[in-house]
Amino acid sequence: MSDPFAGTATGLSGPALRHFAVTPSDTTDLAIRPRALVFQTDGAAVVRDEAGTTLTYSRYAGDVLPIRAVRVLATGTTATIVGWV
């Protein structure tokens, strides 16, 4: 397949190149730090940032949360989430 963007630098404002299913955990950081979290179902995500601040976000399916999360906690997270890299 041809990729007309192969020689273009990727920044945080550009489209993601990869994605992965997020497995929430109260004890383990994400293996890959995403550029954004995408909600696949309505629900909540309990998200920790690099400063250790933890907040709960309630979103609808299809919403994009533009945060480079360090961890998505299992306790309190009810949504199915995908990470964009």
* Three-state SS letters, 14-82: CCCCCEEECCCCCCCCCCCCCCEEEECCCEEEEEECCCCCEEEEEECCCCEECCCCCEEECCCCCCCEE
Q: What percent of the chain has a predicted confidence (pLDDT) above 70?
A: 100
Among 36, 45, 41, which Cα is nearest to 84's? 36
Per residue in 14-47, pLDDT (tens digit) is 788 899 999 999 999 999 999 999 999 999 999 9
Separation between Cα atoms, residue 70 and residue 28, nearest integer Å:
9
Q: For residue 33, what pLDDT is reported?
A: 97
Q: For residue 25, what pLDDT is reported?
A: 99
pTM of the model: 0.90
Separation between Cα atoms, residue 81 and residue 23, nearest integer Å:
8
* Mean pLDDT across 77-85: 98
